C-alpha cells in the first residue's frame, strides 16, 4: 500500500507540472489578477486532471495506444495556438485610456484593461480549452494505470491525489505568474506564450 501511495504521489506531481507551467503563463498573460480567477484556474485544472485520469482508468478496455498518441497532437495544437496568441498580444501597442494614474488590479471592474488592452476576466471557454490542453496526459496516464491496477478504489484514490495536487500547484502558479506580470509588463505575455509553445512541443517527446 505504501508503494502505491508513493507511486500515485509522484504521478500526481508529474501530471501537475503542465498545469503549473500553464497557470504561470495565464497569470503572466493578465488573466489572474483577481483571487477568484486564480481559484477558477486551479479548480478547473484540478477537476480536468482528475476527471480525465478517471475516464482513462475506467475506459482502459475501449481505447487503443494509437488514440493516446493522437491525443498528444491535440495538446500540441491547442498549446501552440494559445501561445502564438499570447505572443501576438504582447507585441501589440495599446493606447492608455485609463483615467487612473496607477493601476489597482484587485479593485478594477473593467473586463478589458483600459491601460494595456488585456482581458481582465476569465471566460468559461478559455478555462475549458486550457483545462483540456493540460489534462490529456492524465487521460493517457489513466489508461496505463488501469492496465496495472483494476481495483476501483485505486482509481478513486489516484483521482483525489491528482486533483488536489494539481489544484495546489496551479493556484501557486497563477499567483506567481500574476506577480511576474506586474513586474515586467507586456513582456510577460511574450514569455508566457513561449512557455506554452515549448510545453506543446515537449509533449511530443
Q: Number of folded domains in the chain?
A: 1
How high is the pLDDT of residue 168?
96
99 falls within a domain: no
8 falls within a domain: no
Task: Provide the CA 185 distance to its chain's centre, in angstroms.
Answer: 21
Q: Regarding predicted confidence, which is higher, 203 or 154? A: 154
How high is the pLDDT of residue 103?
59
**What cell numbers appear for 118 in the block?**
488585456
185 falls within a domain: yes
How high is the pLDDT of residue 46?
96
In whole angstroms, give the CA distance from residue 23 to residue 176: 9
Q: Which among 45, 26, 38 is positioned nearest to 165, based on CA atoms?
A: 45
Domain of residue 19: give its range.
13-28+35-94+109-202
DSSP secondary-structure letter at 117? -
Phi-psi sector, 82: left (phi>0), alpha (psi -120 to 50), beta: alpha
pTM: 0.73
Range 82-94 burial, b when 16+ CB lie within 10 A, else e? bbeebbebbeeee
174 falls within a domain: yes
Q: Regarding predicted confidence, which is higher, 168 or 89? A: 168
3 falls within a domain: no
Q: What is the mean pLDDT of the chain?
A: 77
1 falls within a domain: no
Confidence band for 114, pLDDT divided at 50, 70 and 90 = very low
Amino acid at each position: 500500500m505504501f508503494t502505491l501511495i508513493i507511486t500515485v504521489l509522484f504521478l500526481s506531481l508529474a501530471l501537475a507540472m503542465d498545469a503549473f507551467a500553464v497557470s504561470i503563463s495565464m497569470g503572466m498573460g493578465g488573466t489572474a489578477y483577481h483571487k477568484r480567477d486564480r481559484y477558477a484556474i486551479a479548480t478547473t485544472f484540478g477537476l480536468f486532471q482528475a476527471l480525465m485520469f478517471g475516464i482513462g482508468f475506467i475506459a482502459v478496455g475501449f481505447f487503443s495506444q494509437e488514440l493516446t498518441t493522437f491525443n498528444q497532437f491535440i495538446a500540441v495544437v491547442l498549446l501552440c495556438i494559445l501561445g502564438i496568441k499570447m505572443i501576438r498580444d504582447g507585441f501589440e501597442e495599446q493606447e492608455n485610456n485609463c483615467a487612473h494614474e496607477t493601476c489597482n488590479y484587485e479593485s478594477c471592474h473593467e473586463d478589458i484593461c483600459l491601460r494595456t488592452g488585456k482581458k481582465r476576466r476569465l471566460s468559461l471557454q478559455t478555462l475549458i480549452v486550457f483545462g483540456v490542453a493540460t489534462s490529456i496526459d492524465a487521460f493517457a496516464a489513466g489508461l496505463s494505470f488501469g492496465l496495472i491496477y483494476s481495483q476501483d478504489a485505486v482509481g478513486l484514490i489516484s483521482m483525489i491525489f491528482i486533483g488536489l495536487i494539481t489544484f495546489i500547484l496551479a493556484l501557486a502558479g497563477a499567483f506567481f505568474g500574476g506577480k511576474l506580470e506586474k513586474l515586467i509588463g507586456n513582456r510577460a505575455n511574450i514569455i508566457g506564450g513561449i512557455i506554452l509553445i515549448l510545453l506543446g512541443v515537449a509533449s511530443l517527446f
